[in-house]
Amino acid sequence: MDRPEFLTRLLEIPPDRPALHFADTDRSTTYGELLDGGARVAGWLHERGVKPGDRVGIQLDNGLPLVLAHLGCMALGAVRVPLNRHYKAVELAPILEDATPRLVIAEDPSLFPGLDVHPEPGLGPPLRAWPSPPADVTAWLFTSGTTGRPKGAPQTFRMWTANLDSLAEAWQFDSNCRLWLMLPMFHTHGLVLGLHGTLLRGASARISAHFSPAPPPPDVTDVYGVPTFYHRWIPTMAAQPDAFRRLRLMVSGSDGLGAAVSDEAFRLTGQRVLERYGMTETVMICSNPYAGERRAGTVGLPLPGVALRISEGEVQVQGPSVFDGYHPRPDAEAFTTDGWFRTGDAGELDEAGYLRLVGRKKDLVIVGGVNVSPAEVEGVIRGVPGVADVGCCGLPDEDLGEVVVAAIVPDRAKVDGPQAEAELLAAVARAGLLLSGLKRPRQVVLVGCLPRNALGKLQRNRMAQELFGQR
């Protein structure tokens, strides 16, 4: 079996080169230590019966155990399934059903009934195969499906390698760079760009489990964040602008940054935060350049290797970084009949070829850089006794970009007065606790009916306007 280029390059990095510093435990590692640790985790997985191609669920905070779990799977040729650290049982169930992990590394075994769960990866005899899994799939990332059920998007090293090389060129990111990574490594942003982008270049990173509004430590050169990070950094930028002025590069992605924060950050630091655009299904699609013009309000130019077209207003893409399709539940709508991936984002290209995103054609709310399916939230609320109908949509939020809100049509046979209404709202709030925090509705209203079209489809734009006064 041919070893993927990604692994060959990783194994060629000098072992004494500094790799990752874990700020929460103040632990520094070299590339040699990480690869040795990965080989020992591979031996431990092998002893537990995990074979190349088997799935391994990983639900951990950013830290050395999480990185070793990933490297262990890579060394063995197992497929890692990163699981959102905030997910509760209801959210995990469909993912586990589709991914059928052989073993799970997670703190709370009660979330994984019937599975072989370990709180941390163990260390066994080193196993240094570093093969590609049988089908070349190295990770399985689950994205919020617009139907409410998360969709598995298999990831190959092939998708990542060319894309990360294009990004490194666009951002002039090399082995001298030191990234400050506070994005969770269960999303594309933190895992693919942050962790694997660093490792592929032999660069180094300072890693924390959670965002901190503190100024960047002097050793870091680059920062990746979601718009919420930059919004929360504005007061720090005002108080300590020099800490940001010395940075080589600040990147924002996963949602639009917004002109107000972009301009304020520019005014305070003299640097234009670089915006780029991507998805789990495609890795990165467009980016503003490091050296050329960064056009505020755009996500930049298509990266080398990415073919992009706008068809009926929708951004569609092709190229080696685009995945082959959802698995194990393929979606016939995901690609056009002539083979272009449909992003579901509305966009336009300006005269210089920069892409501006102008809306969403898919039902998705982006909260703090996290894609939330309103249909999933509706599914949970619909189960509450006394709810006859429910609709969720997003409302703008200064800090998180958007938040989820819900409108409920009570079943008037059961909910017949102020007391019963209060009880219904309390029951809905309790049901919300079944979901991770960013998905929970921030506002719930009781209404007589929901705006639906002739086919019965919920009109979420109208909902936001008519029921929540959104203009």
Sheet of 103-106: strand order equals 117-118, 103-106, 55-59, 79-82, 137-143, 151-156
Instruction: Please give, one letter per residue, the 3-state secondary structure of the chain.
Output: CCCCHHHHHHHCCCCCCEEEEECCCCEEEEHHHHHHHHHHHHHHHHHCCCCCCCEEEEECCCCHHHHHHHHHHHHHCCEEEECCCCCCHHHHHHHHHHHCCCEEEECCHHHCCCCCEECCCCCCCCCCCCCCCCCCEEEEEEECCCCCCCEEEEEEHHHHHHHHHHHHHHHCCCCCCEEEECCCCCCHHHHHHHHHHHHHHCCEEEECCCCCCCCCCCCCCEEEECHHHHHHHHHHHHHCHHHHHCCCEEEECCCCCCHHHHHHHHHHHCCCCEEEEEECCCEEEEECCCCCCCCCCCCCEECCCCEEEEECCEEEEECCCCCCCCCCCCCCCCECCCCCEEEEEEEEECCCCCEEEEEECCCCEEECCEEECHHHHHHHHHCCCCEEEEEEEEEEECCCEEEEEEEEEECCCCCCCHHHHHHHHHHHHHHHCCCCHHHCCCEEEECCCCCECCCCCECHHHHHHHHHCCC
Min dist CB 388 to ligand MLC, Å, is 27
Min dist CB 5 to ligand MLC, Å, is 23
Establish if 279 lies at the interface with ligand MLC (CB under 6 A).
Answer: yes
Tell me how far apart the alpha carbons of residues 410 and 395 are, in angstroms, rounded to a whole number. 22
Establish if 63 lies at the interface with ligand MLC (CB under 6 A).
Answer: no
Nearer to ligand MLC, 128 or 149 (CB): 149
The one among 40, 70, 151, 187 contacting ligand MLC by CB under 6 A = 187
Nearer to ligand MLC, 159 or 415 (CB): 159
The one among 68, 92, 127, 183 contacting ligand MLC by CB under 6 A = 183
The one among 3, 9, 86, 361 contacting ligand MLC by CB under 6 A = 86
Site stretch for ligand MLC (CB under 6 A), options 8-16, 64-72, 150-158, 367-375? 367-375
Nearer to ligand MLC, 201 or 231 (CB): 231
Min dist CB 465 to ligand MLC, Å, is 26
Min dist CB 46 to ligand MLC, Å, is 31
Establish if 88 lies at the interface with ligand MLC (CB under 6 A).
Answer: no
Establish if 28 lies at the interface with ligand MLC (CB under 6 A).
Answer: no
Nearer to ligand MLC, 103 or 286 (CB): 286
Q: Which residue is nearest to ligand MLC (CB)?
A: 437
Nearer to ligand MLC, 336 or 436 (CB): 436
Q: For residues 170 and 289, is the Cβ–Cβ distance under 8 A?
A: yes
Establish if 265 lies at the interface with ligand MLC (CB under 6 A).
Answer: no
The one among 49, 217, 385, 437 contacting ligand MLC by CB under 6 A = 437
Min dist CB 262 to ligand MLC, Å, is 17
Write the binding mask 321 to 360 for ligand MLC: x where contact by CB under 6 A, - elsewhere. Answer: ----------------------------------------
Min dist CB 190 to ligand MLC, Å, is 5
The one among 23, 69, 106, 226 contacting ligand MLC by CB under 6 A = 226
Q: Measured on CA atoms in the order 219, 198, 65, 71, is the torsion positive or negative?
A: negative
Establish if 258 lies at the interface with ligand MLC (CB under 6 A).
Answer: no
Write the binding mask 65 to 84 for ligand MLC: x where contact by CB under 6 A, - elsewhere. Answer: -------------------x
Establish if 254 lies at the interface with ligand MLC (CB under 6 A).
Answer: yes
Establish if 441 lies at the interface with ligand MLC (CB under 6 A).
Answer: no
Site stretch for ligand MLC (CB under 6 A), options 239-247, 349-357, 377-385, 431-439? 431-439
Establish if 190 lies at the interface with ligand MLC (CB under 6 A).
Answer: yes
Establish if 164 lies at the interface with ligand MLC (CB under 6 A).
Answer: no
Establish if 185 lies at the interface with ligand MLC (CB under 6 A).
Answer: no
Report how far apart, in Å, the C-alpha atoms of 200 and of each of 93, 142, 175, 250, 263 are. 33, 23, 9, 20, 32
Establish if 150 lies at the interface with ligand MLC (CB under 6 A).
Answer: no
Tell me which residues touch ligand MLC (CB under 6 A).
Answer: 84, 86, 183-184, 187-190, 210-211, 226, 228, 253-254, 278-280, 368-370, 436-438
